[in-house]
C-alpha cells in the first residue's frame, strides 16, 4: 500500500481539530443555512449536563483501556472483503513510516471476511487459508513488532454481516482464541442476531474477554439501535451511536447531528463511536473531508 494513499484513509477518532476553510464554490447548502440561523443559548440545565464530568470514569467499563478514544486504521471502508495478510502488514508498515504511529494511531484492525466460512475442529474459528495463510497469531506478532496493536472482527449473531461464523453462543471459546492469537481489539457487529436484544447479546462477550486475562478493547457495533450510550459504558470501551456511515456529506453531517445529544455519556474508559472516517475514499470534496476530520473528535 502506498503511504500517501494511507495518509488519506485516516482512522477512527482524533483528538485534534483542523481549521476548516470554505470550498471554492462556497459552503454547501446545509452549512450556509446553519450560518444564517440564529443561535439560541442553551438552557442552564442543558449546559450543566453538557459540561458535567463528574461521572467520567465511573460509568465506563473498568478494564484499564480507552483512557482516550481509540485511534488507528480499519480495513472495511476501503477494502471491504478484499483483504489479506499482505494488506495488513503493509498497513502496519505505512502507519510507522508515515509517522502516524508516533501520533497515536496504533490499532491495525481487520474487519469482516478474515475468517473461514466454516468453523474448524471443536467449533474453533479459523482464518481464511487463502487470504491469511500464516494465521492471525503470526500477523499479530508482526504488528506487535512494529509497536502497534492488532484488532479483529466478529459478530453478536450467528453469522457476521458477510456470512462468516458469528460469535453468538460461542463467546467464551472465541474470546479465548482471540487472546491466544494476541488480539488487542474486537469490533463486535450486529448482524444475524436472531432478534435478541443488544443488552442481552453484548455483555456475554465482555465477560468472555475479561476472563481471558488479556486486555482487549471491546468495540460494540450495534448501530445505535437501543441508544447504547445509555447502557454500554459498563459493557464496552466504545459503542456505535448510529447506522453505518456513507462517503457523502449528508451521511456525515446527519451522524454528527445525531451524536450531539450523547456527548456527556462518553469519558475515559468508554466512548461514543460515530463510525469510521471516510477521509480519502472519494465521495466528498477535500474541504468536506477536512470538516469531517474536524467534527469527529467532537462526536
- Catalytic machinery residues: 189, 244
Using alpha carbons, select from 180, 11, 179, 187 the residue that is nearest to residue 114: 187
Whole-angstrom distance, CA of residue 50 vs CA of residue 122: 49
**Helix or strand run (H / E) with residue 61:** none
Farthest-apart Cα atoms in the chain, separation: 64
Structural contact between residues 189 and 112, judged by C-beta atoms closer than 8 angstroms: yes
Alpha carbons 230 and 93: distance in angstroms, whole number:
38
CA distance linking residue 65 with residue 68, whole number of Å: 8
Cβ neighbours of 195 (radius 10 Å)? 4
- What cell was used for 19? 481549521
Amino acid at each position: 500500500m502506498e503511504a500517501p494513499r494511507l495518509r488519506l484513509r485516516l482512522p477512527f477518532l482524533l483528538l485534534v481539530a483542523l481549521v476548516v476553510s470554505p470550498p471554492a464554490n462556497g459552503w454547501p447548502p446545509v452549512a450556509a443555512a446553519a450560518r444564517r440561523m440564529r443561535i439560541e443559548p442553551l438552557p442552564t440545565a442543558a449546559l450543566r449536563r453538557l459540561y458535567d464530568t463528574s461521572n467520567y470514569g465511573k460509568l465506563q467499563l473498568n478494564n484499564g483501556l480507552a483512557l482516550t478514544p481509540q485511534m488507528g486504521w480499519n480495513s472495511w471502508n476501503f477494502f471491504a472483503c478484499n483483504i489479506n495478510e499482505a494488506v495488513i502488514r503493509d498497513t502496519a508498515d505505512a502507519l510507522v513510516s508515515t509517522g502516524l504511529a508516533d501520533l497515536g494511531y496504533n490499532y491495525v484492525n481487520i474487519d469482516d471476511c478474515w475468517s473461514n466460512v466454516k468453523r474448524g475442529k471443536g467449533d474453533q474459528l479459523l482464518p481464511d487459508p487463502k487470504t491469511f495463510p500464516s494465521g492471525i497469531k503470526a500477523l499479530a506478532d508482526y504488528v506487535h513488532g512494529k509497536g502497534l496493536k492488532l484488532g479483529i472482527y466478529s459478530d453478536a449473531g450467528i453469522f457476521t454481516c458477510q456470512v462468516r461464523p458469528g460469535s453468538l453462543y460461542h463467546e467464551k471459546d472465541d474470546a479465548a482464541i482471540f487472546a491466544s492469537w494476541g488480539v488487542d481489539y474486537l469490533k463486535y457487529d450486529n448482524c444475524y442476531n436472531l432478534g435478541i436484544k443488544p443488552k442481552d447479546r453484548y455483555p456475554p462477550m465482555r465477560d468472555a474477554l475479561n476472563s481471558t486475562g488479556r486486555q482487549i478493547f471491546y468495540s460494540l457495533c450495534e448501530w445505535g439501535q437501543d441508544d447504547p450510550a445509555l447502557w454500554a459504558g459498563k459493557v464496552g470501551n466504545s459503542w456505535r451511536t448510529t447506522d453505518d456511515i456513507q462517503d457523502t456529506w449528508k451521511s456525515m453531517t446527519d451522524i454528527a447531528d445525531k451524536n450531539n445529544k450523547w456527548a456527556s455519556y462518553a469519558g475515559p474508559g468508554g466512548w461514543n463511536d460515530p463510525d469510521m472516517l471516510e477521509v480519502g475514499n472519494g465521495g466528498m470534496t477535500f474541504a468536506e473531508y477536512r470538516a469531517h476530520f474536524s467534527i469527529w473528535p467532537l462526536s
